[in-house]
Amino acid sequence: MTKAHDVLFRTLADPTRRAIFERLCRKGEQTVGALTAQAGVSQPAVSKHLAALKLAGLVRDRHEGRQTHYSAQLGALAPLIDWTSRMTGFWQGRFDDLENLLKRMDQ
């Protein structure tokens, strides 16, 4: 697994963080306050999750006055949703297992 995958996987494995990200995907740009109102956790916790999402490239922030608006960056999901690369990895693994099986099989 590549490092980029690793960061994405780890970032999105947290259910609260993923819920915040999914809300941004569904509803578009949101302020920290609006996200906190629905997240069921404190604003500092939401801000911490947003910082992690930003680090993974999954959200972008925009400052407007005293408010910070966050939006989802779907492009950052590309490594996860690229069908071709995912399937190639899948088949490479299957070929490895097939080779192991052939070694164990009788002629």
Partner 1 sequence: MSESETRSIVVERELPHPPEKIWRALTQPHLIEEWLMKNDFKPAVNHRFTLRGDWGAVDCRVLSMEPHKSLSYTWGAMGLESVVSWTLTPTATGTHLRMEQTGFRPDQNQAYQGAKFGWQRFLANLEQVLARTE
Cβ closest to partner 1, residue 68 vs residue 71? 71
Cβ closest to partner 1, residue 63 vs residue 101? 101
- Closest contact distance (angstroms) between CB of 12 and partner 1 is 5
Question: For residue 96, what are the CA distances in angstroms to 13, 84, 89?
Answer: 28, 18, 11
Q: Report the alpha-carbon distance of residue 103 to residue 20 in Å, rounded.
A: 48
- Closest contact distance (angstroms) between CB of 65 and partner 1 is 33
Q: Report the alpha-carbon distance of residue 47 to residue 91 in Å, rounded.
A: 40
Cβ closest to partner 1, residue 43 vs residue 80? 80
Q: What angle do CA 42, 44, 49 make, to 5 degrees?
A: 95
Cβ closest to partner 1, residue 63 vs residue 104? 104
Q: What angle do CA 59, 60, 65 make, to 5 degrees?
A: 135
Binding site for partner 1 (CB under 8 A): 9-10, 12-13, 15, 18, 22, 77, 80-81, 83-84, 87-88, 91-92, 94-95, 97-102, 105, 107
Token pair, residue 89, equals 């990895």
- Closest contact distance (angstroms) between CB of 88 and partner 1 is 5
